[in-house]
Structure 1
């Protein structure tokens, strides 16, 4: 869905401008997104396989929930909305634990530059995997995997081609933050 997003400067501050998401991607304009990592108390992390029709990284495994922040929308409100939309889980803003912001710029093609500030949250998953409902247009599959396996595959270089290339620093941060909470 093409929606309006706010444009950010190099430090992640709003520039007071907005445009369609497609235009932001075409021009490589920085804009805000959310990443929500769902984890269980017994040390598993929820990953999603991106839909086969996604513009970027189709069928690769990725963050539990990710999405764009609509123009004028509060970051945490977008996170709550995206969790509901993508995995059918109702969470509140108080369930979200902000762990930082990560700037990422990926040139997908000559006319598609994904330039985003990911606002990253952790959220404890308190229901079984079977209680989740994936958004078929966005998500191909969901899986709960042990944190140590996730760490091995994403920054231990065991199976990095399976995942969206956020880079080892990003993935190490996620693993460390989840590990400190279980």
Structure 2
């Protein structure tokens, strides 16, 4: 799996609200971009593809974090996390078939909502790795 955290200094971390049609964690707020790596696809190529498909992001320079394994009662995945800084000129265009809505959250808003069923468990774990980069 690839995950991309989209950060805008001064605005916070962009999160997407998962569609209510999703099998796993429907209607919960989640990482900016997430998806699976196709067979034979390079991890960074998968990340760029998912960023284009989900948010319309192009020409990004993602920064890699250390991969890790996420495990729940339903899934076990090798996570390849990245983050990227964007500015006000960056056009974010969510795919309505994948994402119900999206917006930037401040670190304070996220911290105040952790553990309250607002976010996916995956995101809550991932946030601990990424929060130091939110400006």
Provide TM-score, normalisation by structure 1: 0.68
The change in CA–CA distance for 1:73 and 1:133 in structure 2 (over 3 A counts) is: same
The change in CA–CA distance for 1:41 and 1:167 in structure 2 (over 3 A counts) is: closer
Residue of structure 2 in register with 1:86 after alignment: 54
Residue 153 of structure 1 deviates from its aligned partner by 2.1
Residue of structure 2 in register with 1:132 after alignment: 92
The change in CA–CA distance for 1:37 and 1:167 in structure 2 (over 3 A counts) is: closer
Residue 99 of structure 1 deviates from its aligned partner by 1.2
Structure showing the higher strand proportion among its residues: 1
Which blocks of at least 5 consecutive residues in structure 2 are unaligned?
none
Does residue 71 in structure 1 map to residue 39 in structure 2?
Answer: yes
- Is the contact between residue 50 and residue 138 of structure 1 (CA under 8 Å) also seen in structure 2? yes
- Is the contact between residue 37 and residue 64 of structure 1 (CA under 8 Å) also seen in structure 2? yes
Task: For 2:52 and 2:122, locate their aligned partners in 1 and report how far apart those are by CA, in whole Å.
Answer: 23
Which structure carries more relative contact order (alpha carbon 8 Å, separation 6+)?
Answer: 2
Q: Over aligned residues, Cα RMSD in angstroms?
A: 1.8
Deviations 1:65-119 (A, max 9, x none): 0000001100011001100000111134xx1000111211222xxxxx3210110
Which blocks of at least 5 consecutive residues in structure 1 are unaligned?
1-32, 108-112
Q: Which has the larger radius of gyration?
A: 1
